[in-house]
Amino acid sequence: MKICVLGAGSWGITLAYYLKNINYQVKIWSRSTTKSKSLNKNKTFNLLHSKVILQTDVKVMSDIKQSLEDAELVILAVPSHALRNTLILSKDYWPKKAVALSAVKGLEMETHLRMSEIFNQIMPNHEFSVISGPSHAEELAKNIPTALVVASKHLKLAKFIQKKLSSNVLRLYTSSDLIGVELGGAFKNVIAIAAGILDGMRYGDNTKAALITRGLYEMTNLGISLGAQSHTFSGLAGMGDLIVTCISRFSRNRLLGEKIASGITVNQALSQMSAVAEGVKTSQSTWLFSKEKHVETPIMNEVYSVLYKKKTIQNAVKDLLSRSLKPENRRLK
């Protein structure tokens, strides 16, 4: 199978490296000519705490037409804010029978659309699937066992991807809940920022466990209101991704929260980040969704207030703990 990876960030490079290891023909597209030349010359990509050494026959290109030529599977691995423009660039060159696999976790800031909704607007005649779950690039690049879920409205496509991409390093499960898998991958980043704030404030394990548990509750209820299935959030794209993003030293969103807790502004924290922390933009979407759907999401709302309303962390924690008392579970039907 011939595969094109659109995006030369940590996840795109790691997926290309993995796919070549299981004997597929792989090309990578990078918007940056300088970056593509550097990667072709040095074959080295620096991750947070390690490096990926690309195989010699993995080509990195800045010409999107050449990158997509003859591809049977196109993996979308650009930041969420870049997906629309990337699809517009690739539309005229997209191979007729190529299917899409999105590895993007996030929502479009201006429209609050999921990646599948953007894809369907621009590429209505092509099949779409998404891969998500606990998946730090640094670990897959080291061949550390990883399990993810691949979802599509067409379960036949999800099973095809599962069969083609699974190995003794990466185990894939399937789902037909495209909405839930996409939302889980986006929402968990907001909770991860809160987890980082807790770490920066030197709170303990009790607090972190409560945050993850109640965060999952909020993610599930908000997801249900938007058309997702509740059980998806107890799986890899929900609980699994939430846990790893809240506890891992590799997590960009958790690290952002920790930086904010140190006393610097959000913009200062973002300027110190070498990669995109999707949770900042997603917090705007979750705040809007919660108002539109009348779903209580106090943790995510407080993250939004800290990021965009200059609310102090101390007041956010105080307001969360002083909310009216209620039963633990009042899940939407």
- Helical residues (DSSP H) of the chain, grouped into ranges: 10-21, 33-42, 64-68, 83-90, 115-122, 137-140, 155-165, 178-200, 205-225, 241-247, 252-261, 266-271, 279-293, 298-308, 313-321
The whole-angstrom separation of Cα 238 and Cα 276 is: 20
- CB-count exposure of residue 141 (10 Å: 0-12, 13-18, 19+): buried
User: Of 27, 105, 188, 259, which residue is the catalytic one?
Assistant: 188
Beta strands across the sheet bearing 73-76 = 59-61, 25-29, 2-6, 73-76, 99-102, 128-132, 146-151, 170-175
The whole-angstrom separation of Cα 203 and Cα 209 is: 11
The whole-angstrom separation of Cα 105 and Cα 134 is: 11
188 is catalytic: yes
> What's the residue count for the chain?
333
- List the catalytic residues: 188
